Chains A and B, each alone.
Chain A
Amino acid sequence: MSTFLQQLVNGLSVGSIYALIALGYTMVYGTLGLINFAHGEVFMIGCYIGLYAAFWLGYETLSAASFSPMSATLVLLLAMAGAAIVGMLIERFAYRPLRGAPRLAPLITAIGVSLLLQNIAVLAFSANPRSFPSIITEHRLEFAGVTITNIKIFIFAVSILLMLALEFFVKKTWTGRAMRAISVNLPAAKLMGVPADRVISLTFAIGSALAAAGGILFGLDQTKLEPLMGNMIGLKAFIAAVLGGIGNIRGAAIGGLLIGIAELMTAGYISSDYRDAITFVILIVILLVRPQGLLGVVRQEKV
C-alpha cells in the first residue's frame, strides 16, 4: 500500500511539471490554434537562464544554505522574464509573418524554431549536461511510509498557484477577455478594437514565463540540464494539454497530473519499458475517442 501511495506521489510530482508546461501549449493553442512546438525548448532555455542567473547572483561564492530565499525568487523571476522575451521574439519573427498562411505552415516553422533553439543551446551551452544549483536546500519528509521532499511540495504548490493566477487572469481581466475573443474569432476581435498583435505577443510571453517557471522547478528537483531536455518533456506536456482539452486551462492541469500518474503506474506495475509508450497510447486513444479532450468543448466545423 505504501508503495502504491509512493508511486502516486511520484506521479503527481512528475505530472505537476507537465501541467505547468502544458499551460503554455494550451494558451497559445487557445488563442492562435497553433501548436507551438518550440515550447519545450523555451522551457529548456528558461532553465539555462535560471542557471546563469543563480551564478550571477553569487551562488558560487555563497553556499547552498546561505543562498537567500530572496535570491531564489529573483532567479525564478529572471528566468521567467528571460523566457518571456524569447517567447515574444519567436512569435514576432517566426509566427507573426505566417498569420493567415495555410494552417500547416506555422506548425512546420514551429518545428524549425524548436530545432534552431536546440542547436543554439548545444553551441552555447555544449551538449554536456550541467547541474542546476540547489538554490533551495532539500529536506526529506516522511508520512506513513511515503517519502517526499520539500521541493516536490514546493513544485506542487507553485504549480497550483500559477494555474489559479492564470485562470483568474484569463477569466477576469480585460487582456484575458481579449485573448478569449481572439481565440473565438481573430478578425472580429480586431474589428472590435482588440490590439491583436499585442495580445498575442503577451500570450506568448505568459506561456513562456510559465514554461520557465516549470524549468526552474524541474531544475531544482532533477538538478540536471541539457540542451535536448525540452524535447520529450515538451511532447508529453503537449499530450497532457490535448488530454485535458487543448485550450482549456483546468484541462491542462488535470491532463498533466493524469499523464504523470499514468506514466509512473505503468513503470511501477507493468513494465518500465513501456513508460513512454503509454503516453503516446493515451494520446492516440483520446484523439480517436474524444478529440476535444476531457474538458474540451466540441467546435462544429462550418461549411
Chain B
Amino acid sequence: MIWTYRTAVSIALIAALFVINWALDAFVIEYVVRIILQCGINAILAVGLNLINGTTGQFSLGHAGFMAVGAYATAFAVIHLESGLGFSASNIPAPWMQGLLLSVGLLFGALFAGLAGLLVGAPSLRLRGDYLAIVTLGFAEIIRLIFTNTEALGGATGYSGGRPLGLPVYTNFFWVFLWAILLITLIGNFTFSSYGRALRAIREDEIATEALGINTTRMKVLASVISAAAVGVAGGLFAHLMGTIRPDDFKMDRSVAMIVMILIGGLGSVSGAIIGAIFVAVTLEAMRDIQQYRLLAYSLLLIGLMIARPQGLLGSRELRLPAFLRRKRGGAA
C-alpha cells in the first residue's frame, strides 16, 4: 500500500517537474528561469548547510569550499565523460542524455565534496563554536588557494573544460528541482530520524549527549559529510548553470550568503532554510534598482535579524501544509 502511494507520488512529481520545465522553456524568459534555478540551488545549499549549522549546532563558515569541490568535480567529470563518450560541440548529447551526464557528474561532485567534508570535519569537529567557524574558514581558503594554483583546472581564470563555449549549460528546472527534492527529502528524513535527534541533542548539550552513550564525534562527522555532499551537488548545478567556475566564485562571501539564508529561515528548520534561500535569491535580484546600496542593505538585514530574532524567522519550527492537505502521519520513521 505504502509502496504504491510512494510510487504514485514520485511519478506525479516527476511528471509535474517535467511539465513545469517545458512550460518555463516555452513561455518564460530566461532571466526569470535563471532566478528560479538559483532559488533551487540556494535551497540545496541552505538545507545542506542547515544540517550542520542549524540542526547539529556546529557552526561552519567554510561551506563555500565544499561547494567549490563539488563544482569542480562535477564539471571535470561531465567534461571527461562527454569526451570519453565521443560527444563534442558538433555532436551534442540528447536532452535526456545531458541530464544523465549531469547527474552522474553530480554524483562525483557529491562524492568529492563529501570526502572533503570528511577530511575537514574529522579533525576540526573536535573544536567548538567560534573556533570551529574559523578553522572551517581556513580550510575553505586553502581549498580556494589550491584551485587558484592548479593550472590544470584553469587557475584564476576558472575552469571551462577547455571549451570555447564553456561548461555545457545542462542545469535546468527539471534537474535542479529533482535533485533539490531528492536531497531535501533525504536530509529531512535524516533530520527527523533517530540520528537527527542525536544531532539535535548535540546542539543542546554535547557533554550530556556523550554521557548518553552517543559517539558525538562520529555523529558530527557524519552530519558534516552529508552536509558537504549536498552543498557539493549545489556546486555542480551552479557550475553547469554558469558555464565557468572560478576560485573567486567561492570566497567567504559565498559562505556568508549561505548562512544568511538559513538565518532568515531559522537555524535548524528545513522548510525555513528553503524560504530563506528563495528570499535571498529573489530580494538580491529585486534590489537591483538600488544597486550600490544592495550590499549595505544586506549587511544591515543580517545585523538587524540577529538582534531581533537570533534564532531566525521560523526558529527550529517547520512550516507545514494546512492539515487538510497533509496525509495523516505514519508511525516513527
Q: Do A and B come from one complex?
A: yes
Closest CB of chain A to B125's CB: distance in Å?
A: 11
Assuming A116-B300, A284-B138, A288-B124, is B130 touching A111 (CB within 8 A)? no
Given contacts A104-B57, A105-B306, A115-B298, 19 further A-B contacts (CB under 8 A): A94-B303, A94-B307, A102-B310, A108-B306, A109-B302, A122-B295, A235-B137, A242-B131, A242-B134, A273-B149, A276-B141, A277-B145, A280-B142, A284-B135, A284-B142, A287-B124, A287-B135, A291-B131, A303-B208
Q: Which of A35, A107, A116, A239 touches B299 (beta carbons < 8 Å)?
A: A116
Question: B162 near A: Cβ within 8 Å?
Answer: no
Q: Which of A47-82 contact B (CB under 8 A)?
A: none
| A112 lies within 8 A of B142 (CB) | no
| A283 lies within 8 A of B134 (CB) | yes
Q: Write the B228-269 contact mask toward A (1 if CB under 8 angstroms, else 0).
A: 000000000000000000000000000010010001000000
* B: number of interface residues (CB 8 Å): 37
Question: A142 near B: Cβ within 8 Å?
Answer: no
Q: Write the B109-147 contact mask toward A (1 if CB under 8 angstroms, else 0).
A: 000000000000001101101110111011101100100
| A281 lies within 8 A of B142 (CB) | yes
Identify the A interface with B (CB < 8 A).
34-35, 94, 97-98, 101-109, 111-113, 115-116, 119-120, 122-123, 235, 238-239, 242, 273-274, 276-277, 280-281, 283-284, 287-288, 291, 301, 303
Q: Which of B124, B126, B141, B310 touches A98 (beta carbons < 8 Å)?
A: B310
Complex Cα spacing A276 to B256, Å: 20
Main secondary structure on A side of the interface with B: helix
Assuming A123-B296, A280-B141, is B303 touching A109 (CB within 8 A)? yes
When distances are taken between beta carbons in the complex, the residues of chain A under 8 Å from B263 are 108
When distances are taken between beta carbons in the complex, the residues of chain B under 8 Å from A291 are 127, 131
Chain B, Cβ-Cβ closest to A107: B130
Assuming A112-B303, A287-B124, is B138 touching A105 (CB within 8 A)? no
Complex Cα spacing A115 to B89, Å: 42
When distances are taken between beta carbons in the complex, the residues of chain B under 8 Å from A123 are 292-293, 296
When distances are taken between beta carbons in the complex, the residues of chain A under 8 Å from B141 are 276-277, 280
When distances are taken between beta carbons in the complex, the residues of chain B under 8 Å from A284 are 123-124, 135, 138-139, 142
| A104 lies within 8 A of B126 (CB) | no
Assuming A109-B306, A284-B138, A288-B124, is B149 touching A103 (CB within 8 A)? no
Instruction: Return 6 A-B CB contacts under 8 Å, by A number.
Output: A35-B134, A101-B310, A276-B141, A281-B138, A283-B135, A284-B135
| B302 lies within 8 A of A112 (CB) | yes
| B130 lies within 8 A of A115 (CB) | no
Question: B35 near A: Cβ within 8 Å?
Answer: no
Complex Cα spacing A98 to B305, Å: 11
- What are the 9 tightest A-B residue pairs by CB atom distance, in nearest-first order? A112-B302, A115-B299, A280-B138, A105-B310, A116-B299, A112-B303, A109-B306, A119-B296, A119-B295
Question: B59 near A: Cβ within 8 Å?
Answer: yes
Assuming A108-B263, A109-B307, is B302 touching A288 (CB within 8 A)? no
Assuming A104-B59, A277-B145, A280-B139, is B207 touching A303 (CB within 8 A)? yes
Q: Which of B149, B295, B296, B302 touches A108 (beta carbons < 8 Å)?
A: B302
When distances are taken between beta carbons in the complex, the residues of chain B under 8 Å from A281 are 138, 142
Complex Cα spacing A111 to B295, Å: 13
Complex Cα spacing A111 to B306, Å: 11
| A238 lies within 8 A of B303 (CB) | no
When distances are taken between beta carbons in the complex, the residues of chain B under 8 Å from A112 are 299-300, 302-303, 306
When distances are taken between beta carbons in the complex, the residues of chain B under 8 Å from A303 are 207-208
| A274 lies within 8 A of B145 (CB) | yes
When distances are taken between beta carbons in the complex, the residues of chain A under 8 Å from B123 are 284, 288
Q: Which of B12-36 contact A (CB under 8 A)?
A: none
Complex Cα spacing A101 to B129, Å: 14
